[in-house]
Amino acid sequence: MEKAVLVLEDGTYYTGKPLGKRGETCGEVVFNTCMTGYQEILTDPSYKGQIVTMTYPLIGNYGLNIKDSESPRIQAEGFIVKEACEYFSGSGALFSLDDYLEKEGVTGLVGVDTRALTKHIRIHGSMFGIISSVSGNVENLLQKLREDMKKSKCLVSLVSTKKIIHSPGKGKRVVVIDFGCKENIIRSLKSFEMDIYTVPYDTNVKKIMDIDPVGIMLSNGPGDPADLKVSIENIKILAGSKPIWGICLGHQLLGLALGGTTYKLKFGHHGGNHAVKNLEENKCRITSQNHNYALSSELPDDMIVSEINVNDGTVEGICHLRHNIKAVQYHPEACPGPADSDHFFSDFAASI
């Protein structure tokens, strides 16, 4: 019987069986608490550079198709599950989980005690790991992992569009700055017939202003927001001249551009059931989240925290007291609740 192994940077390892492409892959190991939506998770550009562990023990029962992807390809570096369904019964499904990972060239691991792995990450924090289905030598794999960790990587540059994409609409013209934008953000904006220009993450201010948008949306994306210094400087300029809203990484970048600070969470928020409280409305909503970094609650005097995470009190929303500037840490396009956060896009459309 074929064997495979996950080795973490602290030397802990977990054995299982190969899933998807046979080979080796490195990434930051995180866990996601969703019971469904595994195709959306795999194809979410925010997971670039990460190996995703699903806490729900049975994954793949409704198969995978074409239409539910959030980007053209799998973005996660690897995938770990307790049990992968060999047979699937979803309407329109074309692939099993194993076949889909194989087709996309992604190495995974099945048969792991995902509960034990999740508890380890919760106690010690998210850490880097390597999956191998070609070698069981833990010391050699640990050395490979340490070498990979030394490499400098700009994850956003790997997932952002390389050219300006125009999605015509009859409504208001908006620019989406793509740091790893999910397809459903574009779909949500299209539902208001917006005329959308999606631009690369490093597009300069002049090019954006030449498009002459009435509003700007900063998308989600992977990695540490503090690494994107050019983008932060561009946002500083744009924030004083155009309405600008942000989602997830876009929220963190907007906060940094306006004088805030960010920090890394111990094991991040990855799941579809995070309760968020709107402080102005005194109302809670269920949200979908995927981030390892958070914005500090210490903001400049002209910014306020508008929403907080009920579980740990972290900042989930900010807004400006004088300008049309607003952002949320969670994913309003990800259908949590399933419609708890739909107001974000209608509010954006109304505000511009």
Whether 248 is catalytic is: yes
Spatial distance between the Cα atoms of 234 and 250, rounded to a whole number of angstroms: 13
Could you tell me if 201 and 178 are in contact, meaning their C-beta atoms sit under 8 angstroms apart?
Answer: yes
Edge-first strand listing for the sheet containing 195-200: 165-167, 195-200, 173-178, 215-218, 244-247, 325-328, 315-320, 303-309, 262-278, 283-295
Spatial distance between the Cα atoms of 126 and 348, rounded to a whole number of angstroms: 34
Whether 323 is catalytic is: no
Instruction: With H, G, I as helix, E, B as strand and everything else as coil, classify residue 57.
Output: coil
Instruction: With H, G, I as helix, E, B as strand and everything else as coil, classify residue 13.
Output: strand
Whether 40 is catalytic is: no
For 185-213, letters b (16+ CB in 10 Å) and e give bbebbbebebbbbbbbbebeeeebeebeb
The residue from 28, 77, 183, 333 that is catalytic is 333
Could you tell me if 128 and 35 are in contact, meaning their C-beta atoms sit under 8 angstroms apart?
Answer: no
Dihedral angle sign, alpha carbons of residues 121, 127, 130, 136? negative
- Please name every residue paired with 78 in a beta bridge, in sequence order, or none if there are none: 51, 107
Nearest residue to 92 via CA among 69, 62, 72:
62
> What residues have CB less than 8 Å from 235, skipping those under 6 apart?
218, 244, 253, 254, 257
The residue from 183, 248, 274, 320 that is catalytic is 248
Residues marked as catalytic: 248, 331, 333
